[in-house]
């Protein structure tokens, strides 16, 4: 039989041996390690991106958090600082353009015309974080909160070694004056839709590719040692603003993102592509990888994605870390302030002691201090 290139290919190169029989998500990525021992990780992206964080933390990796809920406010609710599921409280970032603009804003290079929406004299909304649970009471408060938030974005990038970014959508709503990209259409989560001010845009491969190049360049300007792991969210669009069926629009969107991510990984030595999208959406994926709405990836799907992801990471002991159990993952509580390193005292202990002191003083007041 004549020699040809396929003769030397490994089993995974063949559908029958790589997928139809004995598929293991751990085999889908052959690239070098995504995260090396001791490296710190920052992440951003669509809602799927937040799923990886508790797995990374449960597996012992250092996830950078620069904007956290102060412990005294932890009891209000898990989402009380809103958007606390990432390294800083930027919330879901669905498009690459929005990520680019976030870093440009943090670097002082982009000041959106629609920097805020004033809903009432004491309600100032953030167009780029429309779901914040507690809107600012004044523009002064809005400025203080936003300035600190953007500082935290830069701190997170500076502190990290690896930036995991999950591409979510190509469809976006822009502010007409300067092209500022909103995470949600004005009027849906917050704000008021104004056709004179707001326009729909569906990004092309060329645009997403250019934006990825810009994102990588900006982030590395902040921190030259940063490496990148790109993933594409397997979560379909909740709705499309195109005239297409949402399934067709989803396929376009994910295809564009997948191509752009893959090309970026080819173009940039410091960029890797991790195939979370393929693991969840491929024909090999079981029906149970999605919930009943066929949109929300199931826990089983995320477990498989993260098992494959962690198999390409190096634990503190060397080698891939053991995949964490569900209990370990669930135990991770994002967006809480870590215990202060210097003292070893926990925030809970601090609150307990504050209470003890206050109560003791009350007792003493009664005893005629």
Partner 1 sequence: MSSLPSEGREFVLAGHSNKWALGTPRGHSGPPALVQRECFGRIGHFAVEETPLPRSVTYWNLFVEAARDRDAVLSYEGNQHVIGFLFVPKPGFDFIEPTVPGPLAARAAIIPRRMVEARFAPSMSGLRSLLKRLQEGGARRCLVVGTPPPSDDIGRFEKEVRSSAFWAKTFEQQKFNIESAQFVSARLMLKLWAVLQDVTEAATREAGGTFIRVPDFLRDANGFLAPEHRLRQDFTHAADSFGQEMLRHTLSA
Shortest distance in whole angstroms from residue 91 CB to partner 1: 15
- Residue at token pair 């959508």: 169
Nearer to partner 1 (CB atom), residue 20 or residue 357: 357
Please give the Cα distance from 55 to 65 (Å, whole number): 15
Q: Under the criterion CB under 8 A, does residue 221 sit at the interface with partner 1?
A: no
Residues 280-339 that bind partner 1 (CB under 8 A): 337-339
For residues 9-27, b (16+ Cβ closer than 10 Å) or e, as one string?
eeeeeeeeebeeeebebbe
Q: Supply the DSSP string of 151-211, one letter for each residue.
A: HHHHHHHHH-SEEEEEE--SEEEEETTT-PEESS-TTTSSS---TTTEEEEE--HHHHHHH
Cα 209 from chain centroid (whole Å): 19
Q: Rg (Cα) of the chain, in Å, rounded? A: 23
The three-class DSSP label of residue 12 is helix
Sketch the per residue contact string, 348 through 367, with partner 1: x for CB under 8 A, - otherwise.
-xxxxxxxxxxxxxxxxxxx
Q: Under the criterion CB under 8 A, does residue 138 sit at the interface with partner 1?
A: yes
Nearer to partner 1 (CB atom), residue 68 or residue 302: 68
- Residue at token pair 């491929």: 282
Please give the Cα distance from 239 to 281 (Å, whole number): 18
Shortest distance in whole angstroms from residue 155 CB to partner 1: 9
Q: Under the criterion CB under 8 A, does residue 131 sit at the interface with partner 1?
A: no
Within 10 angstroms of residue 244's Cβ, the number of other Cβ atoms is 14
Shortest distance in whole angstroms from residue 76 CB to partner 1: 5
| Contacting residue, 9, 76, 192, 206, with partner 1 by CB under 8 A | 76
Q: What are 336's two structure tokens?
A: 């809480």
Q: Under the criterion CB under 8 A, does residue 188 sit at the interface with partner 1?
A: no
Candidates 41-49, 73-81, 252-260, 322-330 — which segment interacts with partner 1 by CB under 8 A? 73-81
Nearer to partner 1 (CB atom), residue 138 or residue 255: 138
Candidates 161-169, 256-264, 297-305, 344-352 — which segment interacts with partner 1 by CB under 8 A? 344-352
Q: Under the criterion CB under 8 A, does residue 73 sit at the interface with partner 1?
A: yes
- Residue at token pair 């070694």: 161
DSSP state of 20: I
Please give the Cα distance from 254 to 265 (Å, whole number): 16
Q: Under the criterion CB under 8 A, does residue 70 sit at the interface with partner 1?
A: yes
- Residue at token pair 């809107």: 135
Sketch the per residue contact string, 139 through 178, with partner 1: x for CB under 8 A, - otherwise.
-xx--xx-xxx-----------------------------
CA dist 210 to 28, 88, 166, 261, 263, Å?
Answer: 27, 25, 16, 11, 11
Q: Under the criterion CB under 8 A, does residue 67 sit at the interface with partner 1?
A: yes
Sketch the per residue contact string, 90 through 129, with partner 1: x for CB under 8 A, - otherwise.
----------------------------------------
Shortest distance in whole angstroms from residue 351 CB to partner 1: 5
List residues binding partner 1 (CB under 8 A).
67-68, 70-73, 75-76, 80-81, 132-138, 140-141, 144-145, 147-149, 337-340, 342-345, 347, 349-369
């Amino acid at each position: 039989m004549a020699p040809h290139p396929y003769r030397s290919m490994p089993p995974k190169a063949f559908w029958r041996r790589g997928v139809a029989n004995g598929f293991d998500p751990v085999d889908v990525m052959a690239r070098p390690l995504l995260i090396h021992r001791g490296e710190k990780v920052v992440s951003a992206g669509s809602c799927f991106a937040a799923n990886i964080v508790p797995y990374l933390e449960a597996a012992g990796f250092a996830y950078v958090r620069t904007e956290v809920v102060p412990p005294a406010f932890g009891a209000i609710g898990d989402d009380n600082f809103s958007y606390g599921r990432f390294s800083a409280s930027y919330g879901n970032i669905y498009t690459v353009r929005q990520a680019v603009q976030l870093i440009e804003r943090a670097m002082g290079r982009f000041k959106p015309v629609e920097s805020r929406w004033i809903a009432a004299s004491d309600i100032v909304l953030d167009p780029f974080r429309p779901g914040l649970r507690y809107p600012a009471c004044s523009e002064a408060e809005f400025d203080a909160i936003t300035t600190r938030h953007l500082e935290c974005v830069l701190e997170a990038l500076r502190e990290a070694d690896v930036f995991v970014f999950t591409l979510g959508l190509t469809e976006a709503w822009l502010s007409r004056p300067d092209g500022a990209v909103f995470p949600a259409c004005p009027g849906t989560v917050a704000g008021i839709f104004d056709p004179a001010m707001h326009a729909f845009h569906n990004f092309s491969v060329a645009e997403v590719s250019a934006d990825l190049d810009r994102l990588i360049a900006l982030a590395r300007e902040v921190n030259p040692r940063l490496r990148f792991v790109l993933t594409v969210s397997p979560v379909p669009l909740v709705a499309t603003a195109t005239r297409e069926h949402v399934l067709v629009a989803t396929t376009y969107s994910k295809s564009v993102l997948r191509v752009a991510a893959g090309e970026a990984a080819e173009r940039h030595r410091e960029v890797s592509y991790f195939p979370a999208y393929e693991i969840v959406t491929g024909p090999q994926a079981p029906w149970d990888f999605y919930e009943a709405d066929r949109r929300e990836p199931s826990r089983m799907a995320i477990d498989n994605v993260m098992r494959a992801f962690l198999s390409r990471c190096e634990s503190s002991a060397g080698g891939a870390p053991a995949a964490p159990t569900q209990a370990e993952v669930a135990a991770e509580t994002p967006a809480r302030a870590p215990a202060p390193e210097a003292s070893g005292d926990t925030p809970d202990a601090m609150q307990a002691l504050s209470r003890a002191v206050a109560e003791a003083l009350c007792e003493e007041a009664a005893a005629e201090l």
